[in-house]
Structure 1
Amino acid sequence: MAIENNNPLEQQKNPDQNGSNGDATNASTRRRKKPRRDGKGSNTKTNNPTTTKSGKSSGRRGGKGQAGTDNQALSTAVDPNLAASDAADDAAAMAEGGIKAVGNQRIIPFMKIEKPMALLSLFMVIGSIIAIAVNGLNLGLDFTGGVSADIRYEQPVEQVAVVQALADNGFDDAVVQYLGTREELLVRLPPQSDNVDGLNTDLTQALALPNNTATISNVNIIGSQVGNEIYLNSVMALVLALVSMLGYVALRFQFKLSLGAVLSLFHDAVVTIGVFALFGFPFDLTVLAAVLALIGYSLNDTIVVYDRIRENFRRVRGITPEQTIDLSLTETLRRTIMTISTVLLVVLAMLFLGGEGLYWFSVALFIGLLAGTYSSTYIASSIPLRMGLSRDDFIVKVKPEFEEEIVTFNDPKMFEQDNV
Structure 2
Amino acid sequence: MSTNNQNNNQNPNSGTPNSSTPAYIEGGRRRRRGPRRDGRGNNTTLSPSDNIEQAEIENTELATSEVYEDEAALAEGGIKALGSKRIIPFMKLEKPMAIFSILMIIISIGALFINGLNLGLDFTGGVSADVKYENPVEQTEVIQSLEKAGFNDAVVQYLGGTTELLVRLPPQSDNVEGLNESLGSALDLPNNSAQISNVNIIGSQVGGEVYLSSMIAIITALGMMMLYVAVRFQFKLAVGALLALVHDAIVTLGFFALFQFPFDLTVLAAILALIGYSLNDTIVVFDRIRENFRRVRDASARQIVDLSLTETLRRTIMTISTVLVVVLAMLFLGGDGLFWFSVAFFIGLIAGTYSSTYISSSIPLAMGLSRDDFVVKIKPEFQEEEVTFNDPKSFED
Could you tell me how far 1:397 is from its partner in structure 2?
1.5
Equivalent residue number for residue 359 of structure 1: 339
| 1:236-275 Cα distance to aligned partner (Å, 9 max, x none) | 0011001101110000000000000000000000000000
Equivalent residue number for residue 42 of structure 2: none
- Of residues 59, 63, 66 in structure 2, which corresponds to 1:82? 63
Q: Give the TM-score, by structure 1 length.
A: 0.76
CA contact (8 A) 1:261 1:302 kept: yes
Aligned residue runs from structure 1 range 107-146, under 5 A = 107-146=87-126
Please state if 1:151 is matched with 2:131: yes
Q: Percent identity?
A: 69
Equivalent residue number for residue 24 of structure 1: none
Aligned residue runs from structure 1 range 234-253, under 5 A = 234-253=214-233
Equivalent residue number for residue 390 of structure 1: 370
Please state if 1:198 is matched with 2:174: no
Equivalent residue number for residue 280 of structure 1: 260
C-alpha distance in 2, partners of 1:400/1:146? Answer: 65
| 1:321-346 Cα distance to aligned partner (Å, 9 max, x none) | 00000000000000000000000000
3-state DSSP class of the match of 1:147? strand
| 1:192-235 Cα distance to aligned partner (Å, 9 max, x none) | 12411111111111111111000000000000000000000001
Equivalent residue number for residue 189 of structure 1: 169
Equivalent residue number for residue 43 of structure 2: none
Q: Which of 1 and 2 has higher RCO (CA within 8 Å, sep 6+)? A: 2
Q: CA RMSD in A?
A: 3.1
Could you tell me how far 1:178 is from its partner in structure 2?
0.3
Equivalent residue number for residue 159 of structure 2: 179
C-alpha distance in 1, partners of 2:296/2:387? Answer: 33
- Of residues 294, 302, 306 in structure 2, which corresponds to 1:326? 306
3-state DSSP class of the match of 1:182? coil
C-alpha distance in 1, partners of 2:131/2:381? Answer: 75
Could you tell me how far 1:408 is from its partner in structure 2?
9.4
- Of residues 222, 228, 242 in structure 1, which corresponds to 2:208? 228
C-alpha distance in 2, partners of 1:69/1:229? Answer: 89
C-alpha distance in 1, partners of 2:138/2:300? Answer: 61
Structure 2: which 5+ residue stretches go unaligned? 1-5, 7-20, 40-53, 390-397
| 1:264-323 Cα distance to aligned partner (Å, 9 max, x none) | 000000000000000000000000000000000000000000000000000001110000
Equivalent residue number for residue 354 of structure 2: 374
Q: How many residues align?
A: 344
CA contact (8 A) 2:82 2:307 kept: no
Please state if 1:295 is matched with 2:268: no
C-alpha distance in 2, partners of 1:399/1:160? Answer: 70
CA contact (8 A) 2:270 2:345 kept: yes
CA contact (8 A) 1:100 1:106 kept: no
Displaced runs of 4 or more, over 3 A: 66-76, 80-86, 102-105, 399-409
Q: Give the TM-score, by structure 2 length.
A: 0.80
Equivalent residue number for residue 349 of structure 1: 329
| 1:41-91 Cα distance to aligned partner (Å, 9 max, x none) | xxxxxxxxx87xx7xx9xxx879xx799445588982208937996xx99x
CA contact (8 A) 2:129 2:197 kept: yes
CA contact (8 A) 2:82 2:303 kept: no
Q: Look up the equivalent residue of 1:385 and give its one-letter code.
A: L
Change (3 A) 1:288 1:391: same
Equivalent residue number for residue 416 of structure 1: none
